[in-house]
Amino acid sequence: MNRQKSLRLTAIVYLLTLAIGLGSYWWLIDAMDVLWATLLADVIMTVVVFAFSMRCNNSSIYDPYWSVIPVFIVLLWMFELNAVGIYSVLLFVGVLIWGLRLTLNWYTDFKGYSHEDFRYVDFRKRFKKWYWVVSLLGIHLFPTLIVFVALYPIYFVMMSSVLIPAFVYIGTVIMIGGAYISFVADTQLRMHKSSSQTTSIQHGLWAYSRHPNYFGEVLFWFGVYVTSLSVTVATIPAIGILSMLALFNFYSVPKMEQKLARNKEDYELIINTVPRFFFRKPKAD
């Protein structure tokens, strides 16, 4: 399936998914509170996308879910919790900027469903006949749940009284800053690839971190957590950022580094000189 047909399919899938999700939410809200109704609707939407992934034999149909659906969840919370005000608008704007940045990055790099993410291809080879079980649980449901947990601080703020507004402002700035860092890092990497370079990128933000795009993503979620401090210091809102930090450092970064080590002859030098995740001054060659 070429890029244009794949984009049309993606638009249809996500419009249908959002419609089913909203319908599910309105059906569930009579029996439970906003948080649980949203969570179950989120799971239902994930299963809908999974059904299309199976139908098209490509789990990459789920890829835009990470950045598209959270924007609508936060918007829903704003109105359902009667929390439309300066603080909720700031939170929504932060999530919207992040979502637009990440979705634009997906759109720019999208090749069509003739291509599948290398991690999913590895799963196919490793799990064979169990692949679709792994896809449902690991590629679809797990990211949905971890993003939902990471979004919880926004729900926490919207349903509570803000006592220290500065944390909402600071958190929003961190959220936008994280999205900006990822945007710059992705742009630099794309320009490096377009110049037909066979060596690893070593300039710009990539001189100070081997994965500045991932760092920006985690920084965004840290900003989401910081906003919750405007209400109080609590354990549950911190689970999201801790989960994101673990996800990127124990799965996303190692998986990407395995791929780069296979494909880039100079990547061993990068590992020895450039910091792994956080921004630090690189070592001398």
pLDDT digits (tens, 9 = 90+) for 31-66: 999 999 999 999 999 999 999 999 999 999 999 999
- What local confidence, expressed as pLDDT, does residue 284 receive? 65
**Predicted confidence (pLDDT) per residue in 229-277, tens digit:** 999 999 999 999 999 999 999 999 999 999 999 888 889 889 999 999 9
Neighbours of 280 (CB within 10 A): 11
Summarize the confidence of residues 96-120 as an average pLDDT: 95
Summarize the confidence of residues 216-226 as an average pLDDT: 98
- What local confidence, expressed as pLDDT, does residue 193 receive? 87
Rg (CA), the chain: 20
**Predicted confidence (pLDDT) per residue in 86-98, tens digit:** 999 999 999 999 9
Q: Do 101 and 182 touch, CB atoms closer than 8 A?
A: yes
- What local confidence, expressed as pLDDT, does residue 197 receive? 72
- Half-sphere exposure of residue 224, counting CA atoms within 13 Å on the CB side? 35
Distance in angstroms (rounded) separating the CA atoms of residues 169 and 86: 10
**Predicted confidence (pLDDT) per residue in 138-186, tens digit:** 999 999 999 999 999 999 999 999 999 999 999 999 999 999 999 999 9
* Residue 24 main-chain phi, psi, to 5 deg: -65, -40
Q: Is 221 exposed, middle or buried (0-12, 13-18, 19+ CB in 10 A)?
A: buried
Q: What b/e sequence results for 12-29 when a residue is b if at least 16 CB atoms lie within 10 Å of its CB, and e otherwise?
A: ebbeebeeebeebbeebb
- Half-sphere exposure of residue 215, counting CA atoms within 13 Å on the CB side? 16
- What local confidence, expressed as pLDDT, does residue 47 receive? 98
Summarize the confidence of residues 209-235 as an average pLDDT: 96
* The token pair that represents 59 in the structure block: 């789990």
| The overall pTM is greater than 0.85 | yes
Minimal CA–CA distance to 174: which of 126, 232, 216? Answer: 216
Minimal CA–CA distance to 35: which of 150, 171, 148? Answer: 148
- What local confidence, expressed as pLDDT, does residue 214 receive? 97
